[in-house]
Amino acid sequence: MKIVFIAGSNRGKESASIKPALAWMNSRKNRFRFEILEVGKYIKVLSEDKAFFDSYLQAMNTSDAVIWLIPVRNLLPSFEICAFIHLINQNNAGSLLKNKHTTAVMTSFFFASDDAEAYLAGACQSWEMNWFAAFHCRPEKKNSKNDLPAIRFLDAFIEKKEKNISAPQFYVIIQSRFLPYRPVAFRPVKKRTDSKAKILLITATPPEETNLPQMIETWEKSFPLPIEKVNLSELPLCFPCAGKCGCFETRFCGFESDSIGKILLPKYKSADVVIFAADVRFGILPPLFKLFFDRIFIPARFDRQKKKRTVWLLSGNLKNRSPLQKYIRTKSILHGEEVIGIANDGNESAKQITDALFALAQETAHLCETEADAAADGVREENLLEEFDRKLLGTPPSHRHFRSRRKIETMRARYLHRNSSGTDR
């Protein structure tokens, strides 16, 4: 029996995610044939060299079972695994894996990996593979005895393969969408130039036959404030997360010299609202979004002085919305973000899509204006209190000594009320 391992870490055989599999292979090397495909280490070559990618597909196609070795980063599998899944979908190669038995060993230092399993399970079952529940472990302990549960898990999985047991199909991806979306004509909203709110729209170049450009255009016509747009596909250099976790101690990412560190991260930090516009295929986001979310995780988590709001424009059917929407909500909590709303184009009429985009744009603009007014009121109130303190401190000491702290606070409140309401003194 030939068993193929898909290694998802860019650290190769030094990664913690591959150690349980190596321990199992050493104990079972006389019974099976093994091959390790280092996707994490060679993802750039796989995306550029079609022959090399085909060799990986051939190895998976000729195997009896496929076992994924997944490092979980920021709730989902590593960027390299997400990119590899995207490559398989892009080349319509999922049919080569039909009826293959598959499972995963997932390692996570800090967070539960349920979302990561749902992500991988959705992809495998969309290719009609026999997916069996993954094994989750924490790799911080170096004692070899801790590999025993993983060894027993892999033995049980191989036994299911030898008995040819079929896995239940529980995650069905619906690929239909309302195509093509032609926005319903409406009068564009008048643009405001006096707003100080910073709005950032982040997208990636969508594939053909997607409604995303039209959805973004409808949003821009419905939104009264200026928007700055960044396309992840056009950034010249972006390094994926290395998974070394040193940023948890230093509180900043080690890759500060690339496009994300120099260009995108400052824009993200200063934005009041961030709009993520993405094309959803097989229930998953484009890999470039995963790369970006991994890189901003530490700066976003430890820099929460400014509450950030987000909007999601997703082109793709969301009838199986639980895994993706659950990920968006959980990721937003971890990053210190507040989700205003999610709009998509799944199986609806053009009018419904346009109305949903218009309503969400108006709600977002209202929140921006309300927050700006509240900030202006706060500055005005602070200036009035400073003026009162100057006047109080400017009185002779003989007139000040009898005023208690409570009396001064009462006088400040009355002064603020009179001046902020516009009444005469």
For the chain, the structural domain boundaries read 2-162, 199-372, 378-421
Q: What global pTM score does this model have? A: 0.80
- Domain spanning 2-162: CATH superfamily: Flavodoxin domain (3.40.50.360)
Using the CB atoms, write b or e for 352-371: b if 16+ within 10 Å: ebbbbbbebbeebbebbeee
Phi, psi of 422 (to 5 degrees): 85, 10
Q: Which CATH architecture has domain 199-372?
A: 3-Layer(aba) Sandwich (3.40)
- Count of CB atoms situated within 10 Å of the CB of 408: 14
Segments in the chain below pLDDT 70: 110-112, 140-146, 171-178, 207-209, 244-246, 248, 250-252, 254-255, 282, 299-306, 317-322, 347-348, 371-412, 414-425
199-372 matches 2-162 in CATH topology: yes
Cα distances (Å, whole numbers) of residue 50 to 47, 54, 55, 276: 7, 6, 9, 30
pLDDT reported for residue 140: 59
Sign of torsion over alpha carbons 362, 363, 366, 367: negative
